[in-house]
A and B are shown apart, each in its own frame.
Chain A
Amino acid sequence: MQKDMLLDFKAEKVVTALKEGKRLDARKVDEYRELKIEKDIYQNAEGSAKVTLGNTEVIAGVKFLLGTPYPDMPNEGTISTGMELIPLASPYFESGPPSTASIEISRVIDRGIRESKAVDFEKLCVKQGEFVFIGFIDMYAINHDGNLFDAGSIAALAALTEAKVPKVEDEKIVKGEYSGKLKLKRKPLLSTFSKIGNTMILDSTLLEETAAQARFSVATTEDNFVSAFQKGLSGSIKKDDVDNAIDVAFKTAKEIRKKL
């Protein structure tokens, strides 16, 4: 697909401004854009949410299906997470099988949730060794203006906090009936930074991502644990960058959790 030459041209301005510690939209380097969360918007989903982070928009929906557990974990259900980068969000997203970018975003968001043990997998067990719930978290990018990672992470978590677990009778899901809300043990959130020059900036716009040499995401929990790391792109980061990112992540994720 034809690259947008204008993006490259404008990205130079990002670099110049950052040399003086400024961002083009006047944000601080550790500041999120305006965040809006709408919950419970799709009736067929067991939980759903739409997140708007600046101009970036992502939707998420949760569906529970019954499945058989792994033989070595007979009393545990699980989750499955995915984000699709669909043409609605950008003229550069094409139809077809998931791109490497979408697979990376999906797996990083999944790791943040899974490793923090936010969802109690034992509570998803319906009949030991036979039936467990698989919680599918499906996300779709609706508008791409950077940081689909964090927008997706917030949307996934918001949908999970709303999710109702279906009632099961005779080893089948009873449509329209629920046994209660899914109670989360932790509320993990991803915070993603772009490294431009020597500066790590939080929540990049598409233009800032275009100028970035490296990307770093960290998932944090409300009790100050880190549940995922991901360094992306072909540049490098320093240990100081990681330390700084973790500190910023703990602080900013706390503020976002208040909105959930």
Chain B
Amino acid sequence: MATEKEEKKVYVNKKGLRLDGRKIDETRPIKITAGVLKNAKGSCYLEWGQNKVLVSVQGPREALPKHTANPLKALLKFTYRMAAFSVPDRKNPKPGRRDIEISKVCGEALEKSVFLEKYPNSQIEVWAQILDSNAGSRAAALTAASVALADAGIPMKDLVTSVAVGRADGKIIVDLNKDEEDAPDAVDMPIALMSNSKEIVLLQMDGLFSKKEFDEAFEVAVKSIEGIKKLQIKALKEKYESKEFEQASKLSEKALPKQPSNLLEKDLPKQKVDQKTGQKKEEKKAEVQ
């Protein structure tokens, strides 16, 4: 509602609550699903507050154009794009400088985590399409992209997890939304870590920060990232974990009773003699691997 007076917004009130009711160390709700695209090697759909991002991984496949190929390792090409309707004022589909910069830093963040030397001369293409946004879309894209790469079965050192921390009303806050980015003393610091080693693979900052504030912001980010990583791991595992798997995995193979390998012996007709006898010989050769 448009108000007549310019009311001074209170970004963090006396109870430590923000404009949308969150505490200063609370992220917006995050939902992650892996393996959602049928035509991609790996994929991930992630919702983070109002942000919605869909990521696909294609490759590794031949690096093209050929002269860009690196004979020592795979190239990782990351493309960050926003759908025209994903922002309040329609965005021109042609990539702008912001898209290109974000693509570059996110790609570089992921490169550190992937064992690129395993696929020399090839390229791995990551495409992050933002479908809806409200600040923090690059953290969402990067967090989803790491899940998509793991979903593709591409070997990596660790997952990459990202979050934006910042300041409003003098307090260090986690996961700024769009309103908070407009605070008069706002600082926005997107950061991404490989959380096992706390290696920083993405770090950007917009605003005026003291060194002490940065130290505090970094600690807050590390803690937040721990929680987000748990969601990434859950998303990857949930397709495979089931009660049946849990029960079976507790018994070691030796403990299982010996089952006959073919229950159908008594039901089946005698195995037909292959009419194309030429094929039968080849069959034997192929199946003994």
Interface string of A69-98 (1 = CB under 8 A from B): 000000000000010101111110001000
Please pick, from A1, A62, A84, A143, the residue contacting B37 in the complex, using a CB distance under 8 A. Answer: A143
Contacts of B55 in A (CB 8 A): 88
- Asked if B40 and A61 sit within 8 Å, CB to CB, the answer is no
List CB contacts (< 8 Å) of B1-50 with chain A.
2, 37-41, 43, 50
- Asked if A48 and B85 sit within 8 Å, CB to CB, the answer is yes
- The answer to whether A144 and B85 touch (CB under 8 A), given A2-B61, A43-B132, A91-B58, is no
- The answer to whether A88 and B56 touch (CB under 8 A), given A42-B132, A59-B131, A143-B38, is yes
A149 to B114, alpha carbons, bound, how many Å? Answer: 37
- The answer to whether A138 and B39 touch (CB under 8 A), given A42-B132, A44-B133, is no
Contacts of A175 in B (CB 8 A): 88
Q: Min CB distance, A67 to chain B, in Å?
A: 11
A62 to B38, alpha carbons, bound, how many Å? Answer: 26
Asked whether B52 is an interface residue with its Cβ less than 8 Å from the other chain, the reply is yes
- Asked if B133 and A87 sit within 8 Å, CB to CB, the answer is no
Interface string of A50-77 (1 = CB under 8 A from B): 0000010001011101000000000000
- Asked if A63 and B40 sit within 8 Å, CB to CB, the answer is no
- Asked if B58 and A42 sit within 8 Å, CB to CB, the answer is no
List CB contacts (< 8 Å) of B69-97 with chain A.
79, 81, 83-90, 93
A65 to B44, alpha carbons, bound, how many Å? Answer: 31
A87 to B61, alpha carbons, bound, how many Å? Answer: 14
A237 to B93, alpha carbons, bound, how many Å? Answer: 35
- The answer to whether A88 and B127 touch (CB under 8 A), given A55-B38, A82-B93, A142-B54, is yes
Contacts of B129 in A (CB 8 A): 86, 88, 140
- Asked if A63 and B85 sit within 8 Å, CB to CB, the answer is yes
Q: Min CB distance, A59 to chain B, in Å?
A: 7
- Asked if A138 and B84 sit within 8 Å, CB to CB, the answer is yes
- The answer to whether A61 and B43 touch (CB under 8 A), given A87-B127, A88-B129, is no
Interface of B, helix, strand, loop or mixed by DSSP: loop
- Asked if A88 and B54 sit within 8 Å, CB to CB, the answer is yes
Closest to A206 in B: B39
A59 to B2, alpha carbons, bound, how many Å? Answer: 33
Please pick, from B40, B81, B131, the residue contacting A91 in the complex, using a CB distance under 8 A. Answer: B40
Asked whether A136 is an interface residue with its Cβ less than 8 Å from the other chain, the reply is yes
A140 to B37, alpha carbons, bound, how many Å? Answer: 14
Contacts of A88 in B (CB 8 A): 37, 39-40, 43, 54-56, 127, 129
Contacts of A145 in B (CB 8 A): 38-39
Asked whether B180 is an interface residue with its Cβ less than 8 Å from the other chain, the reply is no
Closest to B81 in A: A86
Contacts of A62 in B (CB 8 A): 85
Interface size on B, residues (CB 8 A): 34
A43 to B85, alpha carbons, bound, how many Å? Answer: 9
- Asked if A2 and B81 sit within 8 Å, CB to CB, the answer is no
- Asked if B84 and A143 sit within 8 Å, CB to CB, the answer is no
- Asked if B127 and A136 sit within 8 Å, CB to CB, the answer is no
Contacts of B43 in A (CB 8 A): 88
Q: Min CB distance, A55 to chain B, in Å?
A: 6
In the complex, number of A-B residue pairs with CB atoms less than 8 Å apart: 91
Contacts of B37 in A (CB 8 A): 88-89, 142-143
A65 to B89, alpha carbons, bound, how many Å? Answer: 8
- Asked if A95 and B127 sit within 8 Å, CB to CB, the answer is yes
Asked whether A45 is an interface residue with its Cβ less than 8 Å from the other chain, the reply is yes
Asked whether B185 is an interface residue with its Cβ less than 8 Å from the other chain, the reply is no
Q: Min CB distance, A130 to chain B, in Å?
A: 19
A55 to B36, alpha carbons, bound, how many Å? Answer: 12
Contacts of B108 in A (CB 8 A): none
List CB contacts (< 8 Å) of B148-199 with chain A.
none
Please pick, from A42, A89, A91, the residue contacting B85 in the complex, using a CB distance under 8 A. Answer: A42
Contacts of B52 in A (CB 8 A): 42
Please pick, from A63, A84, A144, the residue contacting B39 in the complex, using a CB distance under 8 A. Answer: A144
Asked whether B111 is an interface residue with its Cβ less than 8 Å from the other chain, the reply is no
A82 to B92, alpha carbons, bound, how many Å? Answer: 11
- The answer to whether A61 and B56 touch (CB under 8 A), given A84-B93, A90-B39, A140-B129, is no
- Asked if A86 and B127 sit within 8 Å, CB to CB, the answer is yes
Please pick, from B58, B88, B90, the residue contacting A87 in the complex, using a CB distance under 8 A. Answer: B58
Closest to B58 in A: A91
- The answer to whether A138 and B81 touch (CB under 8 A), given A2-B62, A90-B39, is no
- Asked if B127 and A44 sit within 8 Å, CB to CB, the answer is no
5 contacts between A and B (CB under 8 A): A42-B52, A42-B131, A59-B131, A87-B58, A89-B37
Q: A89-B39, A138-B93 known; 15 other A-B pairs, CB under 8 Å?
A: A1-B64, A42-B131, A43-B132, A65-B90, A86-B81, A87-B125, A88-B39, A88-B43, A88-B54, A88-B55, A88-B56, A91-B40, A138-B90, A143-B37, A145-B38
Closest 9 CB pairs of A and B: A61-B85, A63-B90, A45-B85, A138-B84, A88-B56, A42-B132, A87-B127, A91-B58, A63-B85
